């Protein structure tokens, strides 16, 4: 099955390109200490708002810090938020969706009404409200995005469980005395993860956008720690004299989010079993 999925995924060149870009960004984030030409917090008051040149390929900001180095280190913040926040959201969504879909009845009704209540609040404004209470930091941002973004995953998992729990392999597991815990986590969840993978890919892109927006507003990653969002804030303050402060981080966010969306589109097509018959 994995060969079929990979073969179908490779048929979409845009998705393959997106995956390649994501892998490159991941390598940049991992090896940031060795790739960045300068320390991201190194201030040089004699080289403020210098345009791109051979010494500073992406120019410098209003404190003389190298923009390229800050963007390389900022990729770590964006990817951390994307993966950890989505990891939290997937964990919560899978557990609640599995319980709702497997047991049904009153339990299903209560969980789904809670999901409806959460969906009634705009996610970004809900995050802003929470951040107004707690001190903004990278771990806080990851946790808040995670606990406010699990609803779609829960609904997807619930829908899969409603279908899968009626299958023969579940009936066979019950017949041999398997516990509910074993049936849920050993037999059903592995067969219900395909839409979750697709949702997670889109979720990472959304989390990166949210983190960038919060940092741009000064409510996300706090200076002097770099992130693409707070680099854009510096660009906003100097938009008329330092175009590079807005262009390069803006392009980084655009390319990253687009890459994850392209991979999500490719996974959605590759994991669609209705298309596998053409591969036989």
Q: Residue 118 above 80 pLDDT?
A: yes
Q: Residue 1 above 80 pLDDT?
A: no
Q: Which two tokens stand for residue 73?
A: 């280190």
- Mean pLDDT score, 223-245: 86
Could you report the per-residue pLDDT of 60-71, keeping only the tens digit for each?
Answer: 988 889 999 999
Which of helix, strand or coil describes residue 150? Answer: coil
CB atoms under 10 Å from CB of 109, counted, come to: 11
- Mean pLDDT score, 114-121: 87
Could you report the per-residue pLDDT of 42-58, keeping only the tens digit for each?
Answer: 888 888 888 999 888 99
CB atoms under 10 Å from CB of 54, counted, come to: 5
- Mean pLDDT score, 124-143: 81
- Mean pLDDT score, 180-193: 84
pLDDT level of residue 274 (50, 70, 90 thresholds):
low
Q: What are the residues facing 60 on neighbouring strands?
A: 66
Question: Of 87, 100, 122, nearest to 196 (Cα)?
Answer: 87
Q: Residue 273 above 80 pLDDT?
A: no
Of 89 and 178, which is predicted with more confidence? 89
Q: Residue 277 above 80 pLDDT?
A: no
User: In whole angstroms, what is the distance from residue 247 CA to residue 235 CA?
Assistant: 8
Q: What are the residues facing 66 on neighbouring strands?
A: 60
Which domains does the chain carry?
2-37+66-279 (1.10.3720.10)
pLDDT of residue 197: 87
- The pTM for the full model equals 0.86
Which of helix, strand or coil describes residue 145? Answer: helix
User: In whole angstroms, what is the distance from residue 107 CA to residue 103 CA?
Assistant: 7
- Mean pLDDT score, 267-279: 66
pLDDT level of residue 175 (50, 70, 90 thresholds):
confident
User: In whole angstroms, what is the distance from residue 154 CA to residue 259 CA?
Assistant: 25
User: In whole angstroms, what is the distance from residue 254 CA to residue 123 CA?
Assistant: 21
User: In whole angstroms, what is the distance from residue 29 CA to residue 21 CA?
Assistant: 12
pLDDT level of residue 141 (50, 70, 90 thresholds):
confident
Q: Are 231 and 68 in contact (CB under 8 A)?
A: no
Question: Of 215, 200, 198, nearest to 249 (Cα)?
Answer: 215
pLDDT of residue 278: 52
- Those residues whose C-beta lies under 8 Å from the C-beta of residue 148, and which sit 6 or more positions away, are 118, 123, 126, 127, 130
Q: Residue 59 above 80 pLDDT?
A: yes
Phi, psi of 56 (to 5 degrees): -130, 95
**pLDDT above 90 covers what percent of the chain?**
30
Could you report the per-residue pLDDT of 198-226, keeping only the tens digit for each?
Answer: 888 988 998 888 888 888 888 888 888 88
**Letter string b/e over residues 164-179, b meaning 16 or more CB atoms within 10 A of that residue's CB:** bbeeeebeebeeeeee
Could you report the per-residue pLDDT of 147-168, keeping only the tens digit for each?
Answer: 888 999 999 999 988 888 888 8
- Mean pLDDT score, 237-260: 90
Q: Residue 268 above 70 pLDDT?
A: yes
Q: What average pLDDT is seen over the chain?
A: 86
Of 218 and 251, which is predicted with more confidence? 251
Q: Residue 272 above 80 pLDDT?
A: no
pLDDT of residue 261: 92
């Amino acid at each position: 099955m994995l060969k079929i999925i990979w073969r179908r995924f490779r048929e979409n060149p845009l998705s393959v390109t997106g995956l390649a870009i994501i892998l490159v960004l991941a390598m940049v984030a991992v090896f940031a200490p060795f790739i960045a030409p300068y320390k991201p917090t190194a201030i040089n008051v004699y080289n403020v708002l210098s345009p791109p040149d051979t010494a500073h390929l992406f120019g410098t900001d209003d404190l003389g810090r190298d923009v390229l180095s800050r963007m390389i280190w900022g990729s770590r913040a964006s990817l951390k938020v994307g993966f950890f926040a989505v990891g939290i959201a997937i964990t919560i969504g899978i557990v609640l969706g599995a319980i709702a879909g497997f047991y049904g009845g009153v339990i299903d009704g209560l969980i789904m009404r809670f999901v409806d209540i959460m969906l009634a609040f705009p996610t970004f404004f809900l995050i802003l409200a929470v951040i107004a209470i707690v001190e903004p930091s990278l771990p806080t941002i990851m946790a808040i995005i995670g606990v406010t973004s699990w609803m779609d995953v829960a609904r997807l998992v619930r829908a899969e469980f409603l279908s899968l729990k009626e299958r023969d392999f579940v009936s066979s597991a019950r017949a041999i005395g398997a516990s509910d815990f074993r049936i849920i986590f050993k037999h059903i969840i592995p067969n219900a993860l395909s839409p979750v993978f697709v949702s997670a890919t889109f979720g990472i892109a959304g989390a990166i956008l949210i983190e960038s927006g919060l940092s741009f507003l000064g409510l996300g990653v706090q200076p002097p720690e770099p992130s693409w969002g707070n680099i854009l804030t510096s660009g906003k303050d100097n938009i008329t004299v330092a175009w590079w402060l807005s262009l390069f981080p803006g392009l980084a966010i655009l390319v990253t989010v687009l890459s994850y969306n392209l991979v999500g589109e490719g996974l959605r097509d590759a994991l669609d079993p209705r298309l596998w018959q053409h591969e036989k």
